[in-house]
Amino acid sequence: MSSRTSSLAAGCSPTTARAGEAWTIALLTARGRGSWGGTCPFGPGLSDLPEGLPVVAITRARLRLRGFLNFWARVPAINRRLLRAPGLRAALGIGELPWIRPVTFSVWDDAASLEQFAWAGSNHQAAARAALARRWFAEDLFFRFAAVGAAGTLDGREPAFGFTAS
């Protein structure tokens, strides 16, 4: 795998042997900004990505105490809208300390679907603007990737490219 390819795997630990399923996705960095633990883990984006690949978004924040309640108060409404968003293939909330350093991982049909959810006059857009203006985050990261391969399943299906487990 090249240095510009990131690979994320569900269950990369001794727990994998006990898991009912595992899913791995290969990604090429498209673009992004921010840091994770003070560093940029994904490298520069590629300008010549192939068309028609699923788009993956990864976000991560380290919440300041003053933004904690305001941030989490907005999450349920955003999640309801997310689950109905056209073009969403999968969405996961994860994080090393999920309440303080939340991470989101989502797979979309294309960049237009992701942007429609995130920025088209939505409650997500309002929350993102409030978080930036009121400095709810001590650190944040927003990266977009092209999914170039996947193996395994998540909830009985492979969400990036659409096959179902047999």
pLDDT tens, residue by residue, 143-158: 999 999 999 998 888 8
Q: Please check whether residue 3 lies inside any domain of the structure.
A: no
Q: Please check whether residue 161 lies inside any domain of the structure.
A: no
Is residue 95 within 8 Å of 102, Cβ to Cβ? Answer: yes
Separation CA 28–CA 55 (nearest Å): 10
Q: Please check whether residue 59 lies inside any domain of the structure.
A: yes
Is residue 60 within 8 Å of 73, Cβ to Cβ? Answer: no
Q: What is the pLDDT of residues 93-146, one digit of tens each?
A: 988 888 999 999 999 999 999 999 998 878 888 899 999 899 999 999 999 999
Q: Please check whether residue 77 lies inside any domain of the structure.
A: yes
Is residue 108 within 8 Å of 137, Cβ to Cβ? Answer: no
Q: Please check whether residue 165 lies inside any domain of the structure.
A: no
Residue 93, domain CATH: 3.30.70.100
Q: Please check whether residue 133 lies inside any domain of the structure.
A: yes
The H or E element spanning position 119 is helix 111-119
Q: Please check whether residue 6 lies inside any domain of the structure.
A: no
Question: Any idea what the Cα angle at residue 146 is, between residues 80 and 16, rounded to 5°?
Answer: 75
pTM: 0.84
- Counting the structural domains of the chain, the total is 1
Question: Any idea what the Cα angle at residue 159 is, between residues 87 and 142, rounded to 5°?
Answer: 65
Could you tell me the residue range of the domain that residue 106 belongs to? Answer: 20-38+50-152
Catalogue the E-assigned strands of 17-154: 23-34, 55-63, 88-97, 101-108, 137-152
Q: Please check whether residue 162 lies inside any domain of the structure.
A: no
